[in-house]
């Protein structure tokens, strides 16, 4: 197992280098001067502009800029935004909010998707199954901003069960409605995936053998059917965690959540290259770690899977 973990960590290095290089290239190697956007319609002082270029290493060749950025990342220095604030301070302020939102959305997605999908799969062709398929298809078909506005109107304005915007500090109770909105489409997809996996597993020989041996449904469903149906579900949910982090941009904007999504969108609009690159780098790191954890969980979910030397 230790050898497998080491191999996966080594495989993550070229992925990290490749993604950061592409992002850095798209942000800094394109035509135009990102510093000029700071001055708007005003003509900047040439001396000031030159000093800023030196401060942000924009006077260096692109490849030199990239390796200087990598060196800073290895030292834990994510650079400084064009507004003068350390990017690490921005990350420390915004990432905990988005992480809480994404984890809450992931819990809603996974628990709801597995429970509804399991019951729907076991009740194939019944009223509950048909209703679950129709409702999930509706959510998959709707854009996220439509679900957000409907959620605000129904649960925030009409029923008064939740706040329509997140208050300062982003407490958990304020994040419940945005988390439901963020998880809604993935929840619908997970319901359909779990249902299909349960139906397929329930028809396999070892399940029929378990019924033939006289085992109770209370044991067969969780041990034989659910456990063997969870591998594609866990894979989808884990990879979706990175999607939730990135996809929180629209949700955070609508609910005024002071997290990564809204900050990243504002940084793109303002041309804040260091902020954009550093935020994406952290997202890539989180995505790689989550995928490594998922691979290690495979052996626990399915005894047939073993990572041997």
- pLDDT tens sequence for the chain (309 residues): 666 667 777 777 888 788 888 888 877 766 666 666 666 666 667 777 777 777 777 777 778 888 888 888 888 777 777 777 788 888 888 888 888 888 899 899 999 999 999 999 888 888 998 999 999 999 998 888 889 889 888 988 888 888 888 877 778 888 889 999 989 988 999 999 999 988 888 877 888 888 887 777 788 887 778 877 887 887 788 778 777 876 677 888 888 888 887 888 777 777 777 788 888 888 778 777 777 777 766 656 555 555 444
- As given in the structure block, the two tokens for residue 7 are 């191999």
Q: Alpha-carbon dihedral of residues 38, 279, 179, 222, nearest 10 degrees?
A: 170
State the sign of the Cα–Cα–Cα–Cα dihedral 23, 29, 32, 33. positive
Distance CA 233, CA 195 (A): 10
Distance CA 190, CA 111 (A): 10
Q: For 33, how many CA atoms within 13 A lie in the half-sphere containing its CB?
A: 15
User: Cβ contacts of residue 22 below 8 Å, gap of 6+?
Assistant: none
Q: Angle at CA 152, nearest 5°, toward 149 and 153?
A: 85
Task: Give domain limits for the chain.
Answer: 87-305
Distance CA 221, CA 227 (A): 8
CB of 113 closer than 8 Å to CB of 237:
yes
> CATH class for domain 87-305?
mainly alpha
């Amino acid at each position: 197992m230790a050898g497998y973990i080491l191999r996966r960590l080594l495989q993550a290095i070229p992925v990290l280098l490749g993604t950061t290089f592409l992002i850095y290239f798209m942000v800094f190697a394109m035509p135009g001067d990102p510093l000029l956007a700071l001055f708007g319609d005003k003509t900047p002082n040439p001396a000031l502009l030159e000093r800023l270029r030196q401060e942000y290493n924009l006077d260096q060749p692109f490849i030199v800029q990239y390796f200087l950025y990598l060196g800073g990342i290895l030292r834990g220095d994510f650079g400084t935004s064009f507004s003068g604030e350390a990017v690490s301070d921005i990350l420390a302020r915004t990432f905990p909010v988005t992480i809480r939102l994404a984890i809450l959305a992931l819990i809603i997605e996974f628990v709801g998707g597995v429970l509804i999908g399991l019951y729907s799969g076991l009740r194939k062709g019944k009223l509950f199954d048909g209703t679950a398929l129709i409702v999930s298809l509706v959510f998959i078909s709707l854009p996220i901003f439509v679900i957000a506005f409907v959620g605000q109107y129904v649960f925030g304005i009409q029923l008064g069960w939740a706040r329509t915007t997140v208050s300062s500090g982003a407490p958990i109770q304020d994040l419940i409605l945005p988390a439901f909105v963020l998880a809604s489409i993935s929840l619908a997809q997970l319901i359909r995936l779990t249902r299909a996996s349960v139906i397929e597993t329930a028809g396999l020989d070892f399940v029929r053998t378990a019924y033939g041996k006289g085992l109770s449904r209370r044991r067969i469903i969780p041990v034989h059917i659910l456990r063997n149906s969870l591998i594609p579900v866990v894979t989808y949910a884990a990879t979706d965690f990175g999607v939730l982090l990135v996809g929180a941009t629209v949700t955070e904007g609508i609910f005024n959540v002071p997290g990564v999504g809204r900050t990243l969108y504002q940084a793109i609009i303002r041309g804040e290259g260091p902020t954009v690159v550093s935020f994406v780098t952290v997202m890539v790191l989180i995505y790689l770690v989550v995928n490594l954890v998922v691979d290690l969980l495979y052996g626990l979910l399915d005894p047939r899977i073993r990572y041997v030397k």
